[in-house]
Amino acid sequence: MIHLNRKISDVGFSKDNIDHLGNKYLIGNGYMGIRGTAEEYTAELHPAINLSGVYDRAPGKWRESVNAPNGLYCLLHADGERLALPEKEPRFHEQSLDLAAGLHGRRTLWRVGETGVTVESERFASMADPHAILQRYVVSVDREAELTLDSGIDSEVWDINGGHFSSVSLTEREGILSAECRTIEQGIVVTVLVGEKAPVVGETVKEGGKLLKRYRFRAEPLVSYVFEKTVTVCTSRDEDAVGLPTMLDYEEAKRRHTACWDRIWYRSEVQIEGDDEAELALNYSIYHLNCIAPRSGGVRSIPARGLSGQVYKGAIFWDTEMFMFDYFLFTDPDVAKRLLRYRITTLPGAMEKAAEYGWRGAFYAWESQEGGLDACTDYNITDVFTGRPVRTYFRDKQVHVSAAMVYALVRYLEVTGDRSVLREGGNRMLLECARFYHSLLVRYVGRDFYEIHDVVGPDEYHERVNNNAYTNRMARFTLEQAACLLRDDPICTEEERLGFLEAAKRLKVPQPDPETGLIEQFDGYFRLEDASVETLRSRLIDPREYWGGADGVASHTQVNKQADVAAMLGMFPEDYPTDVMEKNWLYYEPRTEHGSSLSACMFALLACYIGRPDYAYPLFMKSAQQDYLPGSKLWLGLIFIGGTHPAAAGGAWMVASRGFAGLSIRNGCPAASKPQLPEGWARLRFRILCRGKSYLVTATAEKTLIEEEQT
């Protein structure tokens, strides 16, 4: 089925687009992510080689992921003039990304007097050698010119809450440049090695935090001067850090790298006949998921901003299990199992957090770092007017996060049939999550049902509410699954199992109103001011204001960041008739700001369930183009939150598969309801894996055909 031959590009240069294009043109291989920035950029322009699963805390600041020294640095001078964006305006500039092969490209033309100087570069984060980045940098002129190229390591990295290195050692040995850095908190050693192949001889120079090879030469017209480098990145935590290559043959490394991408795309490409824009947007989203998936190394997961930098502290959120997991489950179940293993391994941290608040079981971190440490603080927002930190309740009241682990676990069992994950700790994770929700239950004297109080749902604009619909439904699901899956497991007594079952039956989950069909998002929601999103936007004094919290413009209104009811209906469509789902879609969507990248896909999925692909399509495209188009939110109060949005990418895939194609799993086999293709779509095709078998799914307006393939 492979026909993917997509090269995206932006022509022209604007300093205002640097952060957006840094996200848009990200490359990665699961071990690290490399922002799509020019080779000459220094820290203030946000280049980053972001490392998966490596964290540090600078004194007095937030703990966050670590960016490695930049071994891709190159700076060109021509006839003594410095050629660097953005300080020198180019005559021509193009940045490109080959989605099919994970290749980042750049072509820039400058004029220096009467001389035209062209730089062309290509780089990739090797899928075959996870510690390696390969770069080719080519210079040519149309008249003779004196050129100087500085190429090497820039150790002065961009940090949001850093720096993170207590020491930096820059050395050269046998032609290999080396930066060896030690983190402040735990003394993790981050090493970057650069080996270069050049057409001229260079000298080694050290300038501030840079260790460089300086190449001086007289360039002849119409001759291409090719400089190739292998950048090797490793840490003292890497078990495979011994014997890593310091110089690879560029073409051979590229061949092996693209072969890996071919195998990945064979499983993950989606074809949409009749809508090239949607096909590109969805495959672009899939590209981003593919290049940040943990396919090798230790216990790692996928952060909320992928590997695009240190935003949200490089932490793993519930986004991974609820929005990205389905994609990997159906295209690369080994990655899905790795994601589950991360949560199983970090169970002790979740239990420690629950105990901190006086609860039983496992309360998973809102912002999970290694060991399940919750990096989330009690003050996550800065007031734009006073500059003071504002008390938030993400860490201690978003109790729905533990249920996301159970939802992913049950989906994994359903789709793969692999129950070994239970024996490998999944059963203990399930038990402790059920114990957590059981300990949260409250019951008033004289009432025969349980409630869950004082929580924050996925809609973060309304804090400390009672009986949030999404939270309570997910808690019930957790209790039901524990009672079912632990039936014959000795880790759970029969008395406790029956207690879970009884609690699930009696837990209050807001139900549709008999007259209106509407489900109240939480107790008292319908009594809040019924203002429009536009009205609230007009009330803002500063566009960077946070809409939630005690004083946010949305806090005392029905306007949501993302509608919890829509998410609940999207996750449990079998619980509700179509007319109820439709009435709630029509009520909640106009009252939702879509202030989270997680929001649009849930409404799009729900729109498919009610047979309205016309409602779903623009929301699907909003998710699929979240990082492709500019305009994503860059600030939360005074905190920079720019970066990629892999949850939106995963959500777009869920809409295409579950929503437009109608894919589901019934009795361990793939099945489909009537497809809901958007107008103009002639055919939607993709592959899935289920119970070790490969299937080709083809959806047309009339039906969805699922064909088993011979492996």
Per cent of the chain over pLDDT 70 is 99
pLDDT > 80? residue 560: yes
pLDDT attached to residue 240: 85
> Are the CB atoms for 40 and 305 separated by under 8 Å?
no
Mean pLDDT value across residues 413-437 = 98
* Residue 381: band (very low, low, confident or very high) from pLDDT cuts 50, 70, 90: confident
* Per-residue pLDDT tens over the stretch 191-240: 999 999 999 999 999 999 999 999 999 999 989 999 999 999 999 999 88
Distance of CA 171 to CAs 165, 176, 204, 206, Å?
16, 8, 10, 9
pLDDT attached to residue 2: 55
Spell out the domains of the chain, with CATH numbers in brackets: 7-265 (2.70.98.40), 269-709 (1.50.10.10)
pLDDT attached to residue 632: 84
Pick from 531, 613, 514, 525: nearest CA to 564: 525
pLDDT > 90? residue 699: yes
* Per-residue pLDDT tens over the stretch 60-108: 999 999 999 999 999 999 999 999 999 999 999 999 999 999 999 999 9
Distance of CA 269 to CAs 114, 295, 326, 402, Å?
47, 18, 15, 31
Question: Worst-scoring range by mean pLDDT, 202-216, 217-231, 368-382, 391-405?
Answer: 368-382
Cα distance between residue 611 and residue 272, in whole Å? 19
SS3 609: helix
Query: 40, 432, 460, 545: which is the annotated catalytic residue?
Result: 460
* Per-residue pLDDT tens over the stretch 545-557: 999 988 899 999 9
Q: Which residue has the higher pLDDT, 617 or 299?
A: 617
Cβ density class 645-668: b for 16+ within 10 Å, e for less = bbbbbbbbbbbbbbbbbbbebeee
* Per-residue pLDDT tens over the stretch 166-177: 999 999 999 999
Using CB atoms within 10 Å of the CB of residue 339, give its burial: 0 to 12 exposed, 13 to 18 middle, 19+ buried.
buried
Pick from 125, 244, 130, 234: nearest CA to 188: 234
Cα distance between residue 306 and residue 545, in whole Å? 25
Phi-psi region of 380 (alpha: psi -120 to 50; beta: other; left: phi over 0): alpha
pLDDT attached to residue 544: 87
Q: What tokens were used for 619?
A: 């929301």
pLDDT attached to residue 214: 98
pLDDT > 90? residue 634: no
pLDDT attached to residue 550: 87
Cα distance between residue 213 and residue 227, in whole Å? 11
pLDDT > 80? residue 12: yes
Pick from 497, 447, 448, 455: nearest CA to 472: 455
pLDDT > 80? residue 657: yes
DSSP string for 82-131: EE-TTTS--SEEEEEEETTTTEEEEEEEEEETTEEEEEEEEEEE-SSSTT
Q: Which residue has the higher pLDDT, 383 or 294?
A: 294
Using CB atoms within 10 Å of the CB of residue 109, give its burial: 0 to 12 exposed, 13 to 18 middle, 19+ buried.
middle
Count of Cβ atoms closer than 10 Å to residue 599 Cβ: 26
pLDDT attached to residue 637: 64
pLDDT attached to residue 638: 67
Distance of CA 674 to CAs 668, 687, 701, Å?
19, 18, 8
Distance of CA 101 to CAs 65, 253, 283, Å?
27, 12, 12
Cα distance between residue 246 and residue 570, in whole Å? 49
Query: What are the φ/ψ torsions at residue 672 (nearest 5 degrees)?
Result: -150, 140
Distance of CA 652 to CAs 275, 277, 591, Å?
15, 14, 21
Cis peptide bond prior to 577, omega within 30° of 0? no
Mean pLDDT value across residues 655-674 = 97
Average pLDDT of the residues of the chain: 96
pLDDT attached to residue 239: 87
pLDDT > 90? residue 590: yes
Query: What are the φ/ψ torsions at residue 33 (nearest 5 degrees)?
Result: -125, 140
pLDDT > 80? residue 4: no
pLDDT attached to residue 641: 83
Pick from 207, 205, 209: nearest CA to 168: 209
Which residues contact residue 92 at a Cβ distance below 8 angstroms, ignoring those fewer than 6 apart? 11, 107, 108, 109
Quote the Cα angle for 152-154-159, to 5°. Answer: 155
pLDDT > 70? residue 492: yes
The residue type found at 81 is E
DSSP string for 219-279: EPBT--EEEEEEEEEEETT-TT-TT--S---HHHHHHHHHHHHHHHHHHH-EEEET-HHHH
Mean pLDDT value across residues 538-548 = 93
Count the residues in the chain.
711
Longest dimension (CA), the chain: 92
SS3 458: coil
Rounded to 10 degrees, the C-alpha dihedral 417/423/427/428 comes to: -160
pLDDT > 60? residue 1: no
pLDDT attached to residue 653: 98
Pick from 695, 658, 677, 643: nearest CA to 48: 643
Tell me, yes or no, if 460 is annotated catalytic: yes
